[in-house]
Amino acid sequence: MAFIGALIGGMTNHLAIKMLFRPHNPIYFRGKRLPFTPGLIPKRRDELAKQLGVTVTNYLLTPETIRKKFFSQDIKDKVQDFVTTKSNELLFDDRTIAHWLTTAGFPNVADDIEKKVDTVIVQQFGNLHHTLATKPINQLLSDDIKATIDGKIPLAVEHILNKGRDYFVSPEGEATIKHMIDEFLGSKGSLGNMVQMFMGDSTSMVFKVQKEIVKLLQSDSSHQLLTSIFEKEWQSLQTRPALDFLQDVQFEPIVDKVQTYAKQQLAVQSRLDKPLKHYWPNGNVYMNETLIPQLVAKGFIAAEDKLEDVLKRLNLQEVVREQVDSFPVATLEDLVLGISKREFKMITVLGALLGGLIGIVQGLIVYLIG
């Protein structure tokens, strides 16, 4: 009787454990679902998935837990050491800037830059040519420049008159006056000879003409006249496009020379063929001691500030629920059995033990009554 009780108790507990998982699907007989089908876990899988999601969100992956695990000083130090090591390995070794650009998928940067420079120069000269051809000078000059030029005209006139006076009182000026008088009298034929006969040699006339010329150049009326002429001419020039005065200028050779000069000065390929440390010899010291610590510290602060918002956006509760709900029942069974297999065996053994004890007690009772 003890054996039978143990057998029944063990089998009953074993069957109860199996009924937690089996059958995986409901069983129907004559259109009616049999009781206890499917098993408890398959039947309650949705509730199990939801509860696991709540448990993970509220007790496992909480903001406090993640802060303690991933935002500790030890983690910050490890991240800073990692970034520092990689920075020294990648940025400040002997590999050139061209190498890094090629690695990043930009093998022809130098050619592309030079082509871009050529294009920009052509475009700028095209814009300049269009501007010079369509806009009058007064639109190209600022008010300050025009005011300055207007103020310089009287000074320029005075300078010209002074230079003219200095020339005509010089020996060279006297020679010029004498030559002009001789040419004039010579061109008049007999009349000129008659004048020379009365006036004497042209040398005697030079002083008189020279005096009158100097007097004319020093007079206020001459200054005002020239100033007025210059101002009118300047006003007239301002209404014309600047290109009218540049008709003989060939822009194409200028463009070619500017392009060549710009590319020579840029020397893009030569500059790219040098490592970063060539241009920034103390860069690794600055990176290691200042920039990286600041970036890591600010990165951790920003990440910690956004942690709760990120967790809300991730909606881990729903993620866990969906994943568990999508598990095959066999996977859930293996998961639970993998964790509690030993305990389930002990429950089966305990059932057999209790069944055996009950059988012994029943046997004693029957024996005593009999």
With a cut of 80, say whether residue 237 has pLDDT above it.
Answer: yes
State the pLDDT at residue 184.
Answer: 65
Give the C-alpha separation, 160 to 137, whole Å.
25
* Mean pLDDT over each residue of the chain, to the nearest integer: 83
Interaxial angle between packed helices 329-369 and 45-55, expressed in degrees from 0 to 180 and rounded to the nearest 10: 110
| Percent over 70 (pLDDT), the chain | 88
How confident is residue 4, by pLDDT bands cut at 50, 70 and 90? confident
Mean pLDDT value of segment 318-342: 75
The tens digit of pLDDT for each residue in 59-69 reads: 888 888 888 88
How confident is residue 192, by pLDDT bands cut at 50, 70 and 90? very low
Q: Among 152-161, 182-191, 238-247, which stretch is predicted with the lowest mean pLDDT?
A: 182-191
Give the C-alpha separation, 98 to 110, whole Å.
9
Domain range annotation of the chain = 2-70+307-369, 97-135+244-274, 145-240
Closest CA to 6 of 355, 365, 368: 355
How confident is residue 120, by pLDDT bands cut at 50, 70 and 90? very high
- Sign of the Cα torsion 65, 66, 69, 73 reads negative
Q: Among 154-158, 245-249, 340-344, which stretch is predicted with the lowest mean pLDDT?
A: 340-344
The pTM of the whole model exceeds 0.85: no
With a cut of 60, say whether residue 195 has pLDDT above it.
Answer: no
Beta carbons within 10 angstroms of residue 120's beta carbon? 12
Residues 6+ apart with CB under 8 A from 171: none
**Helix, coil or strand: residue 70:** helix
With a cut of 60, say whether residue 197 has pLDDT above it.
Answer: no
Mean pLDDT value of segment 41-64: 79
Query: Does 95 or 34 have the greater pLDDT score?
Result: 95
State the pLDDT at residue 50.
Answer: 83
With a cut of 50, say whether residue 358 has pLDDT above it.
Answer: yes
State the pLDDT at residue 160.
Answer: 93
